[in-house]
Amino acid sequence: MKENHLLLSIAVLGGTGKQGKGLAYRWARAGYHILIGSREEESAKNAANELKTMLGEGVSINGMSNSQSAKEADIVVLSVPYSAHRSTLESVKEYLQGKILIDVTVPLVPPKVSKVQMPSAGSAAQEAKEIVGDGVEVCAAFQNISYEHLMNDEEVDCDVLVTGTSKEAREETLKLVQAADLIGWDAGPIENSVVIEGMTSVLIGINKKYGSTHAGIKITGAKQSAD
């Protein structure tokens, strides 16, 4: 574990799921205070204890309800199935005001999850913005990272595209991408999230057709700035 002793706290709503738990693992390892959120507090506590066992002493991870974790956190990450997207946001809306919400949700509609199916708002992230209102900065990120890579210490051969409602919010999100030992790119305004979310269905289809489990994306022909 890195000894950063960061003061920033991150709530991962849906942190008991594979993607959310993997991101929580990475950020806890980097030294952030992690709040695992769930509709069932007991499940959140079990997930927190599992991560503590994996990471050892010195990590700061607590499990609690979605509402309590959103209330206590500085930044909130939403990683839930699309079927729970609206209801989860509505339940924590009041606790998100003045904060950054990072939406990891992909609008997959079973059984045709390899077919791009966007909501009327344009994307899940844009829908989240409509639900939570102007008092919340919303970013979309991490949709194309396979969870198989997150729960261990291996290098992830996949980039993270970040869209959001402001440059400042995207910059803060990119800091968390870097903290998770991933490579991130500013992909522009939140309207561009339709492309990133839709790419997940494309990658699922590629995995299915070619027998893979973790197809990803890489940005070529561009260089990261030195700062």
Beta carbons of 210 and 222 less than 8 angstroms apart: no
Beta carbons of 164 and 157 less than 8 angstroms apart: no
> What does pTM read for this prediction?
0.94
Q: What are the DSSP E strand ranges found in the chain? A: 9-13, 33-38, 60-65, 75-78, 100-103, 137-140, 159-164, 183-189
At residue 155, the pLDDT reads: 85
Hey, where are the domains in the chain? Answer: 9-210
Q: To 5 degrees, how large is the angle CA 27–CA 28–CA 32?
A: 80
Instruction: For domain 9-210, say whether CATH 3.40.50.720 is its number.
Output: yes
At residue 134, the pLDDT reads: 96
At residue 184, the pLDDT reads: 97
pLDDT tens, residue order, the chain (227 aa): 444 446 799 999 999 999 999 999 999 999 999 999 999 999 999 999 999 999 998 899 999 999 999 999 999 999 999 999 999 999 999 999 999 999 999 999 999 999 999 999 999 999 999 999 999 999 999 999 988 788 888 888 899 999 999 999 999 999 999 999 999 999 999 999 999 999 999 999 999 999 988 889 999 999 887 55
